[in-house]
Amino acid sequence: MNLSADQLRQKIEQLRALLNQYRHEYYVLDAPTIPDHDYDQLWQQLQALEQAYPEWARQDSPIQQVGAAPLPTFAPVKHRSAMLSLSNAFEAQHITDFDRRLRTRLEVDLIEYVAELKIDGLAISLCYEQGQLIQAATRGDGSQGENVTANVKTISCIPQQLKGENIPRFLEVRGEVFMTRQGLVELNQKQAQRQERIFANPRNAAASSLRQLDAHITAQRPLLFTAYSVVEIDGITQILSHYELLQQLAQFGLPISAYSEKVTGVSGCLAYYEKIKTLRDQLPFDIDGVVYKVDNLAQQQLAGFVARAPRWAIAHKLPPQEVSTTVLAIDSQV
């Protein structure tokens, strides 16, 4: 169907309004009303239109945004370095393109990656000073998050004091707070007995549980944490790779994923993807994809960032498990 300029502009505006509504429901209310896959499709439609018609692109478009502004009910935390999103790949060809772009930029023939699970929870930043947990914050809009330190201190797998040797003067770690599917079932049973809110999925339950004003409520929720990156580590200079950083975090007592693997080139990434795809249902928690990250830290630095994501990492999404109910009604509206 050929659309007139007015119809195209109308479609772009409708998509922006819809995505903004869904973002509010997901990031602010922790209560999405459409499956993630449908959201991703709408997002891709808008991205393609904004690329094709840059004259109608806008700085405040959902395409440019990370998360949502922090809730005013929490003290704001300015992130020392932005907490960004990840570029998404939905098919193998996107990974081949990603790897080719990176090899050209880094001027190398082959790249070593670390392949990780993309657990479906919410990102947090943990700051440790002299080994002591001093601050925990949500991602918020990427530059400013919510101070959830008191709540995070109730999550038993997150150490309040790092252990081991060579404790850095300062350490900022990022990772995912999440809930297992069984944890959700048990929580919902308790919620039903108390006639309280039932959560649609572990991600919403985890996000809502972490962002409680009363830390006693968070303490009763079965929250888990996995660390997946180090943003700053003072005084430890001999670590040269992301994989080694993860091992160092484990030595400090931080939980890391047992599923992270070093892989070589595109073929290594895609083999990991296939393996995780078959394992997915056996995992006790939800994942929505896997993430490939350049392992060498110097290469990461060289690759740098685009506006809302690092160039040295990409999320490879798994096929949706939820049933699409809303699919792109917007197509019939213009």
* Catalytic positions: 118
Whether 40 has a binding-site annotation, put simply, is yes
- Are the CB atoms for 293 and 84 separated by under 8 Å? no
Q: Is 205 in the site for ligand NAD (CB under 6 A)?
A: no
Kindly tell me which of 170 and 259 has the beta carbon lying closer to ligand NAD. Answer: 259
Separation between Cα atoms, residue 154 and residue 221, nearest integer Å: 9
Among 118, 211, 242, 316, binds ligand NAD (CB under 6 A): 118
Q: Is 32 in the site for ligand NAD (CB under 6 A)?
A: yes
Among 34, 95, 171, 266, binds ligand NAD (CB under 6 A): 34
Q: Is 79 in the site for ligand NAD (CB under 6 A)?
A: no
Work out how close the CB of 287 gets to ligand NAD at its nearest, in angstroms, rounded to a whole number.
Answer: 8
Please state, as a whole number, how many other Cβ atoms lie within 10 Å of the Cβ of residue 179. Answer: 29
Q: Which helix (H) or strand (E) holds 249?
A: helix 242-251
Q: Is 63 in the site for ligand NAD (CB under 6 A)?
A: no
Work out how close the CB of 257 gets to ligand NAD at its nearest, in angstroms, rounded to a whole number.
Answer: 7
- Determine how β-strand 122-129 pairs with β-strand 305-306: unpaired
The one-character DSSP state at 169 is S
- Are the CB atoms for 87 and 292 separated by under 8 Å? no
* Token output for 20: 């903004």
Q: Which residue, 170, 138, 139, 176, is CA-closest to 255?
A: 176
Q: Give the contacts of 227 (CB within 8 A, at least 6 positions apart).
A: 126, 173, 174, 175, 246, 249, 254, 255, 256
Whether 139 has a binding-site annotation, put simply, is yes
Kindly tell me which of 15 and 34 has the beta carbon lying closer to ligand NAD. Answer: 34
Q: Is 119 in the site for ligand NAD (CB under 6 A)?
A: yes
Q: Which residue, 83, 95, 208, is CA-closest to 148?
A: 208
The alpha carbon dihedral of 237, 125, 20, 119 has a sign of positive
Q: Is 70 in the site for ligand NAD (CB under 6 A)?
A: no
Separation between Cα atoms, residue 133 and residue 58, nearest integer Å: 39
Among 30, 50, 99, 116, binds ligand NAD (CB under 6 A): 116
Work out how close the CB of 26 gets to ligand NAD at its nearest, in angstroms, rounded to a whole number.
Answer: 3
- Are the CB atoms for 98 and 87 separated by under 8 Å? yes
Work out how close the CB of 225 gets to ligand NAD at its nearest, in angstroms, rounded to a whole number.
Answer: 11
Whether 208 has a binding-site annotation, put simply, is no
Whether 39 has a binding-site annotation, put simply, is yes
Whether 288 has a binding-site annotation, put simply, is no
Among 11, 16, 79, 139, binds ligand NAD (CB under 6 A): 139
Work out how close the CB of 88 gets to ligand NAD at its nearest, in angstroms, rounded to a whole number.
Answer: 6
From residue 167 to residue 196, the character string flagging contacts with ligand NAD as x (rule: CB under 6 A) and all else as - is: ---------x--------------------
Please state, as a whole number, how many other Cβ atoms lie within 10 Å of the Cβ of residue 294. Answer: 25
| Cα-based torsion angle of the residue sequence 62, 15, 57, 87 in order, rounded to the nearest 10 degrees | 50
Work out how close the CB of 177 gets to ligand NAD at its nearest, in angstroms, rounded to a whole number.
Answer: 9
Separation between Cα atoms, residue 124 and residue 32, nearest integer Å: 20
Binding segment for ligand NAD among 34-42, 44-52, 216-224, 273-281 (CB under 6 A)? 34-42
Separation between Cα atoms, residue 111 and residue 322, nearest integer Å: 34
Separation between Cα atoms, residue 247 and residue 171, nearest integer Å: 14
From residue 230 to residue 269, the character string flagging contacts with ligand NAD as x (rule: CB under 6 A) and all else as - is: ----------------------------------------
Whether 244 has a binding-site annotation, put simply, is no
Name the binding residues for NAD(+).
36-40, 85-86, 116, 139, 176, 293, 317
- Contacting positions for ligand NAD (CB under 6 A): 22-23, 25-26, 32, 34, 36, 39-40, 66-67, 85-86, 88, 116, 118-119, 122-123, 139, 176, 228, 291, 315
